[in-house]
């Protein structure tokens, strides 16, 4: 499961960040995080009293704090070099913003860049390859989610298929799972867990391959997973074939994942990959400044959906004037003595047949 046990402090930080959004429903958020309202308000009170912005006061009281406010601040160059060492793929804007958020001083990105050059922390090739991007985004969270598998990579235990799910508006990462397969029975439980915590989106966009579907294939355009999403009221759309820019934000997310987690590393098994994913996901969502978000973090723009995940799958209903038939093996139905082909994913489900007022002549 993608929602393996995370450390307590990370969960508390994510809860606090979401609860502090305008209009957040605290009690509903407590139910999604499976905590009592008393516990939720206790975390919020501790965070409001915090001196350090890194969430250190969200540790259990018996633990040693991560930092001490009495320690002397390091020099500018030492601070830049240290932060760059922690996040080798971060650029000057992210480093400058993060240092400012930590209260270590306001530094221009150009100053950070010069420091990185002096210490040999940036190559000329990387500097020249950096290009600003401007992309379309939806106006509110949860209006569109983008989902995809990153290209698989090897571990000693076998290939790893990384499932990623991203909110288009905020770039908030909802699912980051190190899986062994890409089948529907592996993906659907991960989506269920995401829906339980964050609610339902209006639409999910995926590519053309399984398990989402194959829109270009006549009679096979729907998959079991797509039908399940449609029954939940979630619109399913597909990227144009050979056009990954349709899911551009998640492709950019994959690039960051490769640069900041996977590059230069090998893993024994999927559990080791998942541990690395969980650690980086917290940084990506709650710490790492995002240039497309005006140097804020994704969690600062994300809010859970008001569309709650239902406890039971809604029944399929049609108009009383429709002719309802049940789909048989291989997607075939019988109507007025004729055998017609639908989708194999609709096997044993009822579908409606209704006249087309614009059609001419008999069926």
Q: Measured at the alpha carbon of residue 129, what is the angle toward residues 126 and 131, in degrees to the nearest 5? A: 125
- 59 — pLDDT class (breaks 50, 70, 90): low
Q: Which pLDDT belongs to residue 113? A: 77
**In angstroms, rounded to a whole number, what is the distance separating the alpha carbons of residues 56 and 49?**
11
**In angstroms, rounded to a whole number, what is the distance separating the alpha carbons of residues 52 and 66?**
10
Q: Which pLDDT belongs to residue 98? A: 85
**In angstroms, rounded to a whole number, what is the distance separating the alpha carbons of residues 12 and 282?**
11
Across residues 132-143, what is the average pLDDT? Answer: 70
**Which range, 97-101, 197-201, 319-323, 334-338, is most confident?**
197-201
**In angstroms, rounded to a whole number, what is the distance separating the alpha carbons of residues 135 and 311?**
36
Q: Which pLDDT belongs to residue 174? A: 97
- 134 — pLDDT class (breaks 50, 70, 90): very low
Question: Which among 72, 55, 121 has a CA at the least distance from the CA of 299?
Answer: 55
Instruction: Tell me the residue length of the chain.
Output: 363
C-beta contacts of 82-88 below 8 A and 24+ residues apart: 84/116, 84/119, 84/121, 87/260, 87/283, 87/288, 88/121, 88/260
Collect all residues with Cβ–Cβ distance below 8 Å to 42 and sequence separation of at least 6: none
**In angstroms, rounded to a whole number, what is the distance separating the alpha carbons of residues 16 and 59?**
13
| Percentage of the chain exceeding pLDDT 90 | 38
**In angstroms, rounded to a whole number, what is the distance separating the alpha carbons of residues 285 and 299?**
5
Across residues 149-159, what is the average pLDDT? Answer: 94
**In angstroms, rounded to a whole number, what is the distance separating the alpha carbons of residues 78 and 248?**
36
Across residues 234-260, what is the average pLDDT? Answer: 81
Q: How far is CA 247 from the centre of its chain?
A: 13
pLDDT in tens, 264-316: 999 999 999 999 999 999 999 999 888 877 888 999 999 999 999 998 988 88
**In angstroms, rounded to a whole number, what is the distance separating the alpha carbons of residues 14 and 347?**
41
pLDDT in tens, 84-114: 778 877 877 888 888 888 877 777 777 777 7
> Whole-number mean pLDDT of the chain?
81
Is the model's pLDDT at 133 over the cut of 50?
A: no
Is the model's pLDDT at 3 over the cut of 50?
A: no
When comparing pLDDT for 46 and 128, which is higher? 46
Across residues 27-41, what is the average pLDDT? Answer: 90
Q: Which pLDDT belongs to residue 46? A: 82
Burial category of 171 from C-beta neighbours within 10 Å (exposed 0-12, middle 13-18, buried 19 and up): buried
Find the radius of gyration of the CA atoms of the chain.
24
- Give the dihedral of Cα atoms 216, 218, 221, 224; nearest 10 deg: -140
Is the model's pLDDT at 53 over the cut of 60?
A: no
**Which range, 48-62, 145-159, 218-232, is most confident?**
145-159
pLDDT in tens, 256-276: 999 999 999 999 999 999 999
Q: Which pLDDT belongs to residue 5? A: 44
- 67 — pLDDT class (breaks 50, 70, 90): low
Cβ atoms of residues 142 and 173 within 8 Å? no
Sign, CA dihedral 39-44-48-51, equals positive
Q: Which pLDDT belongs to residue 157? A: 96
Q: Which pLDDT belongs to residue 128? A: 43
| Percentage of the chain exceeding pLDDT 70 | 80
pLDDT in tens, 10-25: 888 888 889 888 888 9
Across residues 321-327, what is the average pLDDT? Answer: 87
Is the model's pLDDT at 253 over the cut of 90?
A: yes
Of 108-122, 191-205, 213-227, where does mean pLDDT reach its minimum? Answer: 213-227
When comparing pLDDT for 52 and 155, which is higher? 155
């Amino acid at each position: 499961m993608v929602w393996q046990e995370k450390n307590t402090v990370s969960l508390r930080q994510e809860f606090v960040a979401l609860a502090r959004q305008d209009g957040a429903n605290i009690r509903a958020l407590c139910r999604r995080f499976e905590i009592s309202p008393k516990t939720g308000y206790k975390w919020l009170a501790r965070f409001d009293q915090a001196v350090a912005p890194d969430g250190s006061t969200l540790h259990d009281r018996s633990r040693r704090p991560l930092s001490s406010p009495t320690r002397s601040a390091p020099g500018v160059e030492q601070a830049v070099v240290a932060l760059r060492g922690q996040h080798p793929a971060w650029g000057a804007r992210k480093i400058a913003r993060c240092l400012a958020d930590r209260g270590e001083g306001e530094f221009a990105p150009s100053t950070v860049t010069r420091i990185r050059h002096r210490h040999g922390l940036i190559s000329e090739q990387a500097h020249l390859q950096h290009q600003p991007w401007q992309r379309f985004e939806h106006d509110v969270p949860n209006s569109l989610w983008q989902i995809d598998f990153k290209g698989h990579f090897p571990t000693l235990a076998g290939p790893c298929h990384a499932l990623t799910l991203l909110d288009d508006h905020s770039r908030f990462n909802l699912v980051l799972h190190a899986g062994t397969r890409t089948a529907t029975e592996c993906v659907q439980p991960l989506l269920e867990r995401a829906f339980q915590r964050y609610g339902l989106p209006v639409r999910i966009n995926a590519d053309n391959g399984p398990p989402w579907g194959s829109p270009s294939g006549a009679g096979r355009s729907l998959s079991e997973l797509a039908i399940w999403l449609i029954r939940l009221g979630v619109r399913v759309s597909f990227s144009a074939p050979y056009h990954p820019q349709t899911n551009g934000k998640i492709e950019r997310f994959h690039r960051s994942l490769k640069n900041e987690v996977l590059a230069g590393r090998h893993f024994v098994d999927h559990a080791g990959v998942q541990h690395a994913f969980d650690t980086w996901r917290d940084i990506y969502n709650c710490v790492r400044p995002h240039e497309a978000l005006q140097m804020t973090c994704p969690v600062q723009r994300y809010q859970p959906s008001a569309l709650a995940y239902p406890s039971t799958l809604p029944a399929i209903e049609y108009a009383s004037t429709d002719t309802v038939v049940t789909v048989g093996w291989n997607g075939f139905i019988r109507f007025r003595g004729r055998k017609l082909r639908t989708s194999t994913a609709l096997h044993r489900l009822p579908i409606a047949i209704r006249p087309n007022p614009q059609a001419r002549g008999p069926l």
